[in-house]
Structure 1
Amino acid sequence: MAELKADVVVLGAGMVGVGAALHLQKRGRDVILVDRHARAGEETSFGNAGLIESASVFPYMFPRDFGQILQYAMNRAPQVRYQLSDVPSYLPWLVRYFLASSPERALHSAMAELPLIRRSLIEHEALIAEAEVPELLRRTGWIKLFRTDATLANAVGDLDRAKQFGVEGEVLDSKAIAEREPNLTGDFTGAVYFPAPGFIPDPGGLAKAYASLFERKGGRFVVGDARTLEQSARGWRVSGANGTVVAREVVVALGPWSDLVFRPLGYSIPLGVKRGYHLHLAPGGNAVLNHPVLDSDNGYLLAPMNRGIRLTTGVEFARRDAPPSPIQVQQALPRARAMFPLGDAIDAEPWKGARPCLPDMIPVIGKAPRHPGLWFDFGHQHHGLTLGPATGRLLAEMMTGETPFADPKPYAVERFG
């Protein structure tokens, strides 16, 4: 079989892996992108709300409100669900997540991720222009809807905090909501509109457009099995469908499957997953949805994708590869239909994905401490689409000896011991 040689092999062709491959290529590296699928963006990057969340300063941390925690524990919160049979598998990670969500540590996480958040839309705009797909970026912003005075007040407080870091936002009353979204129905106390974030109406399509750009510029895409990665005299080797890929350096950008590579190499990194679901539906009649809208109190989001109106759920805690249990979709559907005119489902069944999360909600980006030429770029929690190109740039700068645009220390794997 053939042997393919490169400077760097990037494992994983989601938004994070493709972003790293493009930035390494831009800096003169010969890169091979390896994925188990024949096309990019077929896993986690395929299913999300489509938001480039440049206004999301504060990560999604474990709540500290006792009433909210009790709702979660009783499986009565629409935003979160868990499978009781899987609790032993993820409880240790959940404890670490809770401890990392103290006010002090949560603020540390926010400040660590802030340089990446600020760079996110800038990097996407540059790649979208180079890939010549301007139709895949809409500058509509998005809307968070609230049904009670208490949840609206909390959101306004969060907005006031975020404004200290340059986030723009506008509080909407019911009249302003109706002006922006005339087809919405509901008893909304108010909403918060974020004008800055970009909206991607086909997230999987954007990953594929970036991968096509990578190939047009001379990059190679190989179908292969990342689990076959092994160190060799010349660096690293991994088995592809039509031969072996050999490179001096390797980047692990496998999202929720990154543990399949780092664990056999002896790294104990607390990578967990938050699962989620989506379902596309046709809009009813002539109804139009102008922005992605989050029904905060009911735990679902509607987004006007190219394929139809995408209904996305909150978080499900379960084993990464456990069978799907799309109860959140079933619960959200009647609420969503009451809020916006929805027709028939376009998908035969809900799509299931997994968000790769570290307890502190900060990705791991940088050099592996015990293996020369091994680099990590995973754990982007809810922001893989948002941060992929930005963290790809940071990683490429570190790998090529440039001055990084952000201090890389907060993302180092050594923070886990």
Structure 2
Amino acid sequence: MAKSDVVVLGAGIVGVSVALHLQARGRSVVLLEKSGIGEGTSFGNAGLIERASVVPYSFPRDLLDLARYALNHNVDAHYDPLFAPKIAPWLARFWYYSSPQRLAKISAELLPLIQNSLSEHKALIEPAGLQHLMREVGWIEVFRKESSHQKAIAEAKEIYAPHGLKFDVLDAAGLKAREPYVSDVVVGGVHWLDPASILDPSALVKGYAALFERRGGTLATGDARSLDVTGGGYRFVTDTGPAEAAEAVIALGPWANDVYEPLGYDFPLAVKRGYHMHYKPVGNAVLNHTLLDVDKGFLLATMNRGVRLTTGVEFADRDAPPTPVQLERAEPIAKELFPLGEHVDPEPWMGRRPCLPDMKPVIGPAPKHKGLWFAFGHNHHGLTLGPVTGRLLAEMMTGAEPFTDPTPYRADRF
């Protein structure tokens, strides 16, 4: 029977990063994936390494916003009415943690991860030979209403500037200079300069996995639900037979509960579903930066495959059939902003974001099992936080001094 020091369950950006960091610290690692490296949640996202997101996405507290969302006609948020009673308790906890005082504390606790997110990616991108996938041009919020533009400018100066984040305030002419093909429906923007963007997130994860394999790591195909606790560690099944590891890491994103629940753990893990579609630009149109249309609630990103239109969040059962209503609503509005042409994809892609109500991931040891570790629940920032999560968890697992206090991410905080 094959044996290793660690089995990492899940080959998305978080799992692959954990495997690489453990490997760099001398551990023999098996990376177990059922359906393809970087093909799950890591496949479809905005492609941003969001160094500027020092405040996580929180629950809206304005009564007018809540009323608007309740009508269920929006691009940025949608819910399945039949699923609403099931998700309501989780949303109540999300609302609780989103109070200004609690949100400020959570932001401070997430800050060390955000601050190190880009540098930790760069530490992997260069040896993996993936520099061609990264663009360090930041991203731009665009606004259709001057009131929302001015509100964003004030927040940038009051909330983000004190953290040393760099940004440019753009009027209509300044925005046009950076994005010549954007239409006049927008009045200006805020250009965040610190983040980087990835032209193919799935290719990035695959490239990191290839680096792991070149360095002697083992990629294995198998179902993480086969994990079983043994007297000396953990047993699991691969397509070549059973295997054992002294320790195990659950890095399965929205599917983490499929493994931790049978082991006796209960986390308030919810899923925010989302969709994307790629388009060919019309004529010679070029999109130079990732654009977030703040007033309408969608995002456009330049990818190798075309211009990616991504939606906000959908609250529905994790495994329910896709309902790309938001994408259908967003497409005509997006075409008002930028000249999108024909579809590149045969059908919309749907993904699942693993979210906890306090907007922080779980990173650290399992309370009930020696040698079992967790790394999941990264909300909207899995791509951003994958490598820095890998570093922190590997430091904890190998007895090194963690670069930051891991207490805020502990598994027993709920």
TM-score range, shorter chain: over 0.9
Q: Quote how far apart the aligned CAs of 1:77 are.
A: 2.9
Aligned to 2:39: 42
Q: Quote how far apart the aligned CAs of 1:187 are.
A: 2.4
Aligned to 1:129: 126
- Report the secondary structure of 1:114's partner residue: helix
Aligned to 1:218: 216
Aligned to 2:349: 351
Aligned to 2:63: 66
Contact 2:143 2:189 in 1 (8 A): yes
- Report the secondary structure of 2:295's partner residue: helix
**Amino acid in structure 1 at the alignment position of 2:130:** V
Choose the corresponding residue for 1:368, options 361, 366, 389: 366
Q: Could you tell me how far apart the structure 1 residues matched to 2:121 and 2:302 are?
A: 20
Aligned to 2:149: 152
The alignment of Structure 1 onto Structure 2 pairs a total of residues equal to: 413
How high is the TM-score relative to the length of structure 2? 0.98
Q: Which runs of 5+ in 1 are unaligned?
A: none
Q: Could you tell me how far apart the structure 1 residues matched to 2:29 and 2:264 are?
A: 26
**Amino acid in structure 2 at the alignment position of 1:117:** I
CA deviation map 1:307-348 (0-9, x unaligned):
011000011111111110001111111111121111110101
Contact 2:6 2:30 in 1 (8 A): yes
Q: Could you tell me how far apart the structure 1 residues matched to 2:72 and 2:191 are?
A: 29
Q: Quote how far apart the aligned CAs of 1:189 are.
A: 2.5
Choose the corresponding residue for 1:298, options 279, 291, 296: 296
Task: Give identity over the alignment, percent.
Answer: 54
Contact 1:21 1:31 in 2 (8 A): yes
Matched, 1:87 2:91: no
Aligned to 2:252: 254
Aligned to 2:199: 201
How well do the aligned residues superpose, as a CA RMSD in angstroms?
0.9
Q: Quote how far apart the aligned CAs of 1:376 are.
A: 0.2
Q: Quote how far apart the aligned CAs of 1:153 are.
A: 2.5
Q: Could you tell me how far apart the structure 2 residues matched to 1:395 and 1:411 are?
A: 11
CA deviation map 1:211-248 (0-9, x unaligned):
00000000001111111111002200111111112101
- Report the secondary structure of 2:275's partner residue: strand
Q: Could you tell me how far apart the structure 2 residues matched to 1:409 and 1:247 are?
A: 26
Q: Could you tell me how far apart the structure 2 residues matched to 1:107 and 1:71 are?
A: 25
How high is the TM-score relative to the length of structure 1? 0.98
- Bigger shift: residues 331-340 or 28-37: 331-340
Q: Which runs of 5+ in 2 are unaligned?
A: none
Pairs within 5 Å for 1:89-238: 89-160=86-157, 161-238=159-236
Aligned to 1:393: 391
Q: Quote how far apart the aligned CAs of 1:88 are.
A: 2.2
Matched, 1:241 2:239: yes
Contact 2:75 2:327 in 1 (8 A): no
- Report the secondary structure of 1:405's partner residue: coil
- Report the secondary structure of 1:67's partner residue: helix
Contact 1:234 1:246 in 2 (8 A): no
Aligned to 1:7: 5
**Amino acid in structure 2 at the alignment position of 1:12:** G
Contact 1:183 1:289 in 2 (8 A): yes
Q: Could you tell me how far apart the structure 2 residues matched to 1:218 and 1:349 are?
A: 37
